[in-house]
Amino acid sequence: MLQKNEKLTSPTIQKDIVNCFSKEVIKSICDEISKDVFAILVDESSDVPIKEQIVIVLRYVDRLEIVKERFIGVVHMLDTFSLALKAVIDTVFSSNNFSAHYIHCFAHQLQLVVVVVAKKHDDAAEFFEQVTLVVTVVCGSCKRKNMIREMQKERVAAEIGICETEPGRGLNQDISLVRAGDTR
């Protein structure tokens, strides 16, 4: 029986409880995957205080042939070089008793090469800096967003009118600007 002062509201105790739940959920995911084939999805981003972090997700097909994606965790990183990423993946695998053959996604390798080349090329780097500034300015105001959206609607309507653009389901949808990043 809990005493009056034992309310389990201590941040340390709450963190321990969340960690226990997390381990149990990951264990059930591992049990469901068992020895089957799965893919690991790793993506990086920075959080609000601009700390590098990676998100780890497992993708697999269950016994009912349903594709599932399960979030495993967020890991703060000092850098996102390949050796650091490999070390984190190895740690996640070993702590969860995964055994896997690792095949790196060549499309992602190509994307990383393009990012590095774009950063090294002055004109490309300046272009992406300008795009980032435009997105920041436009997304900072609802009025500017609406103005851009209306201009886009008018442009698409005019192009459809002169048969320069085809109308159709899924075409010319309303989209929004997203802050630029290395993966966008």
Q: Which of 42-51, 156-165, 175-184 has the highest mean pLDDT?
A: 156-165
Mean pLDDT score of the chain:
80
How many distinct structural domains can be found in the chain? Answer: 2
CA dist 182 → 4, 45, 156, 176 (Å): 52, 9, 29, 18
7 shares a domain with 66: yes
Indicate yes or no: pTM above 0.75: no
Are 148 and 78 in a shared domain?
no
The residue range of the domain holding 66 is: 1-104
Residue 112 contacts by C-beta under 8 Å, 6 or more apart in sequence? none
Domain endpoint, select from 104, 137, 160:
104
Tokens of 156: 């698409």
By mean pLDDT, which of 6-10, 101-105, 129-133 is the weakest? 101-105
Which helix (H) or strand (E) segment is 126 a member of?
A: helix 122-139
Confidence of residue 72 (pLDDT cuts 50, 70, 90): confident
- 78, 114: one domain: no
